[in-house]
A and B are shown apart, each in its own frame.
Chain A
Amino acid sequence: MAAINFTLNGSAKTLDVRDPEKPLLYALRNELGLKGAKYGCGLGQCGACTVLVDGEPTRACVVPIASLAGRKITTIEGLGTPEKPHKVQTAFIAEQAAQCGYCTNGMVMTSAALLERTPKPSVTQVKDALAQNLCRCGTHDRIISAVVRASEGTRG
């Protein structure tokens, strides 16, 4: 059993780990009670499990817990709250940018990271940033509009 220390949504956390290869996603969902990140593929292909590690969008379904010692992890629960949503979340709600909503976590987290790097992205930059995040319901157009809205830009 090894103890891994990291920062989770702004608070210090210590997790006892039996299998250091266990992906972060299972620790978040089953041990830390944070179920916003979703299991979509376990292969790092779809983005439903996206969290931010030191601000970078990261696939929690494949990143081993052991690799996260000393890192800062932000999940969607730490990005915004119902009382104080992140601007990306406010924009997703305004655009009604979800159907089934299973991919939404990854869309929101990846978009929030994009706006940190690129506060006024073009539509092409939004599409490129989200190119590895899959949506099956076809909500893409609204998601693009939401990210543009959050950046206070226009779709043009």
Chain B
Amino acid sequence: MNVITSRRDFLKGSGALFIAIPLSSAAFAQTAAGAKTVDAAQVDAYLALHADGTATIYSGKVDLGTGLRAAFPQIAAEELGLPINRIHLIEGDTALTPDQGPTSGSNGIPKGGMQLRQAAATARQALIRMGAEKLGKPAAELDAIDGEIRPKAGGAGVSFASLIGEKGFELKLDGKAPVRDPKTFKYVGKHVPRPDVPAKVMGRHAFMHDLDVPGMVHGRVVRPAKINASLVSVDESSIAGIPGAQVVRIKNFLGVVAPDEWDAIRAARLLKATWSGGGLPVNHEGLAEHVRKGSKVSGTEMLDEKGDFTATFASGAKKFSAEFYWPVQSHASLGPSCAIADVKNGEATIWCSSQGTHRYRKHFADMLAIPSSKTRVYYVDGAGCYGMNGHEDAAADAAFLSQAIGKPVRVQWTREDEHGLDPKGPAQVITQDAALSDDGKILAWRTQMWCPKPTANLPTIPLLAPVEAGAKQTPGIATGSLSSGGKPPYDVPNLQVQVHWLEETPLRASHLRAPGKIGNCLAVETFMDELALAAGRDPIDFRLAYMSDPRGRESIERVAKLFNWDTRVAPRRDGKGRGIGYTQYKGDETYVAIAMEVEVDAGSGRIKVTRVAATHDCGQIISPDGVRSQVEGCILQTIGRTLFEEVKFDTNHVTSRDWASYPILTFPDVPEMKIELIDRPDQPPRGAGEAATAPVAAALANAVFDATGIRLRRVPFIAQRVKAAQAEMTTKNG
């Protein structure tokens, strides 16, 4: 593999723990008239060339540990024709970067990266035009190479700096500007080490949690034991003995601040407050039933329909039905959310790890009753989030506390806060019905899904503090696209895919990595295995018989080879098994096939994943190691989500508020992994941050069936459920 070392002083520079933080007056001066544009339609929003031959690129999308910090410079270096070690990247700062939407839905590269590519391609064309004039040669004979416009045939060139200096392009981004031919790529598709890894490994990377702002105090928010309870009274004397501790109360929002962090923690623990009301309509054990039958359905939507499902299902020779449940899960970020806010003199400066700093700038401004133009949000790396976790809540907490006391406030959520209060991936129920003809062909298939309906045009996910403080905020439910992936990726003649939209969901929802799609794929792909068995076919052969998309076929065929698939119809039922899961993410994006081997301990019911093989086709690959790293993370995290994870709650609040009650995958659970990336340089790049999660639960469940004859349809697949299913099967088989 061709290794390109990124800028040396990037590595060294990121070793500094303290990063320069502009104070708010300076910050706003920078945004004054004549300053850098952030208009996403302008080339200058994305990049600036400098007189010293370097360039700065500006991204509204941020690196959440996913490798975009390597990938964006690769894309820009390639298109501009500039050595990668001359490129700096600024991410997420609302005053300097264009609003490219939040970093979510695996769109960092497909959307953010491609906007950057077009901006750089537009810039290159402009530089070539300028170079043509200066060199007195036709533009067609010139190219941008190593920071110069040079004749393609060779000969002297002129530097970008001498052509444009610092003055900017003042050009509209041209979506049709020609981009480089993949055959000529120097950076894209090659290995570029991530610039942030050395400092992370040396303990010198400045995370959000590590920032200090001059004059900052520490804040903690005190929340009731029952969700949504109202604050009746506060006994401020309960923390009188703590030096400098101060109570902040705004309606139902209650917090403490203190100069010393440990004192703030003690104050939050000791503060006596009385609350009333609050609670939840259902506990986690009753939620599956509640989703399926107890929740109010606001409407049913037919997402896909082909042929005549009802008639063909009725006429089928063999009929199958199954119901699946995916539980509420938490982002369970390793570091509880943290933020700093400095709100005074009608200005707000907020440092946080939000995936959507631009979006939340307005949200923060509105809730604080400060104009957006006086609000600046900086992105600073946090602990990984996989959708929106508590980052923005911590920022809102800090902002209200800061506004109340007139000093910068740092809020560090606790582990209990993060597990208890982060917005959750909501529960789903999925049912499947299908019929086979008497010669074992799929006649009819119906998927039905029950999940909360996202509020139309909701600008941002509602935060806790504005509700408590009675401040301005648009209410609603955000979930990500939970109903995607319910359509089987196979050529089925008679099909219905419908979703029953629920009006509510008991805990605050947000998009959690691959929203809905892991559960939907579990339902579709384990059902496909049931049909294969009934049709007397091997699960892979059966899938290929219904698969016309050549890229899908290749993914499945290559994973079979990579895994050394054992072609067979009947399950082994000897405690060891293999399963397959396949998806084309969101129906038209990345292709993933995963084969998995499990061992199921008959005594304990414990499932161990021993071996995984995956093929992953996300079109053109920008950063191969970045993609591989994401695929590994998708697989491992989702094995944990499938085997162990369920948010537990009673009718007061979330009860799984630590790592003992909300276990995730640990090192002894890590299987042997083989991953094959299928690179298609001529295809558009698709996302890699989520796709490989989708088939994991399905492959795992199918492997458990092969090992035991048990169909697991309720996540998580904890040992007790396996034991219960084994007992039920023994009773049934007499």
Contacts and interface: CB of A to CB of B under 8 A. Distances in A.
Interface of A: 19, 22-23, 26, 29-30, 35-43, 45-46, 48, 75-77, 79-82, 85, 89, 92-93, 96-105, 108, 126-128, 130-144
B666 A131 contact: yes
Contacts of B209: 35, 38-39
B203 A77 contact: yes
B670 A141 contact: yes
A102 B335 contact: yes
B204 A134 contact: no
B92 to A, nearest CB: 15
B523 to A, nearest CB: 23
A45 B266 CA distance: 20
Contact of B201 (A26, A41, A108, A134): A108
> 7 smallest A-B Cβ distances: which pairs?
A36-B203, A101-B200, A76-B203, A100-B65, A100-B384, A138-B636, A138-B633
A143 B200 CA distance: 13
B65 A41 contact: no
Contacts of A102: 207, 333-335, 382-384
Contacts of B664: 134, 136
17 contacts: A26-B261, A30-B260, A30-B262, A77-B202, A85-B201, A93-B193, A96-B625, A98-B201, A103-B334, A104-B200, A105-B203, A135-B334, A136-B637, A138-B635, A140-B665, A141-B673, A143-B667
A108 B204 CA distance: 13
B332 interface: yes
Contacts, number: 175
Contacts of B194: 96
B21 to A, nearest CB: 15
A125 B456 CA distance: 51
A42 B673 CA distance: 33
Contacts of B632: 138-139, 141-142
Interface in B404-423: 412, 414-415
Contacts of B383: 40, 100, 102, 136
A26 B658 contact: no
Contact of B667 (A22, A75, A97, A126): A126
B197 A93 contact: yes
Contacts of B415: 40-43, 45-46
Among A99, A139, A144, chain B packs the most CB atoms within 10 A around the CB of A99
Contacts of A108: 201, 203
B193 A96 contact: yes
Given A26-B262, A138-B665, 4 more contacts: A46-B415, A98-B196, A102-B207, A134-B334
Given A101-B197, A128-B668, A140-B670, A82 B384 contact: no
Contacts of A92: 197, 201
Nearest to A61: B415
A138 B166 CA distance: 42
A48 B266 CA distance: 21
B695 to A, nearest CB: 15
Interface size on B, as a range, is 35 or more
A137 B666 contact: no
A interface: dominant SS? loop
A127 B670 contact: yes
Contacts of A22: 262
A139 B625 contact: no
A67 to B, nearest CB: 16
A43 B670 contact: no
Given A76-B203, A134-B659, A142 B17 contact: no
Given A101-B196, A103-B334, A140-B670, A80 B659 contact: no
B interface: dominant SS? loop
Contacts of A137: 65, 334, 384, 633, 637
Nearest to A31: B260
A96 B414 contact: no
B597 interface: no
Given A40-B335, A43-B415, A137-B637, A96 B384 contact: no
Contacts of B193: 93, 96
Nearest to A126: B667
A134 B382 CA distance: 16
A36 B206 CA distance: 9
A99 B629 contact: yes
B668 A131 contact: yes
Contacts of B266: 19
A39 B198 contact: no
B684 to A, nearest CB: 25
B382 A100 contact: yes
Contacts of B332: 136
Contacts of B205: 101
B260 A101 contact: no
B449 interface: no
A121 to B, nearest CB: 12
Given A100-B384, A141-B636, A75 B203 contact: yes
Interface string B352-393: 000000000000000000000000000001111010000000
B15 interface: yes
Contacts of B382: 100, 102
B123 interface: no
A40 B334 contact: yes
A101 B11 CA distance: 15
A102 B210 CA distance: 11
A36 B334 CA distance: 15
Contacts of A82: 11-12, 15, 198-199, 202, 204
B142 interface: no
A75 B200 CA distance: 14
Nearest to A155: B672
Nearest to B191: A96
A29 B210 CA distance: 8
Contacts of B636: 138, 140-141
Interface string B610-625: 0000000000000001
Given A38-B209, A96-B625, A48 B334 contact: yes
A127 B202 contact: no
B66 interface: yes
Given A30-B260, A40-B415, A104-B201, A46 B667 contact: no
Among B197, B386, B625, chain A packs the most CB atoms within 10 A around the CB of B197
Contacts of B335: 38-40, 48, 102
Contacts of A26: 261-262
